[in-house]
Amino acid sequence: HSALKIALFFCAGALLCRTEETSLGVQEYVYQYTGYAKKTPVIFAVFTIASVGLIGIPPLCGFSSKWAIAQAAVLQGTPLAITGCVALAISAFLTGLYLLSVVMEGYFPPNDFDESKLAEITDPGMRMKASLWLVTAIGLGLIFFMPLLQRILASYGASLI
């Protein structure tokens, strides 16, 4: 979760850096990034991957953590645990709603969108792109270590009881 969230913040920072040097001025709100995916494909690719992972779509690591929480809640079977499952589903839906709306606007601007105003916008340099891909790879790579991490935490938790 945290690595993917960091990737989203890196994307926001990269977009801020890319827009402050233009005649548009700093574009600091996500609703201002309509149509930017064509001009900043790396930033929007990372943003899309991190968004999908954070929402919890399988097989990305955001899913495995949500699944583990939901399984534990169902095993408890108490009304509070079931309420937690419902809250988890609602939060995943709301996360999808606000993140995917940015992705959709970035890739599919409205028909009346004037693309010429983005003429100065470009992807960042190689170092910034490398850091975007690195943090995304860490976030995605964690899916392979989740079973091991869960076993370690379960055995540690059992030793505390």
pLDDT tens digits for 45-100? 999 999 999 998 887 777 877 888 888 888 998 999 999 999 999 999 999 999 99
pLDDT band at residue 2 using 50, 70 and 90 as cut-offs: confident
Residue 52 neighbours by CB distance under 10 Å: 19
Judge residue 87's burial from the number of C-beta atoms within 10 Å of its C-beta, 0-12 exposed, 13-18 middle, 19 or more buried: exposed
Angle (CA) 134 63 148, round 5°? 75
Indicate whether 133 pLDDT > 90.
yes
CA-nearest of 115, 117, 110, 86 to 23 is 117
Q: Give the CA radius of gyration of the chain.
A: 19
Mean of the per-residue pLDDT values for the chain?
87
Q: How high is the pLDDT of residue 154?
A: 85
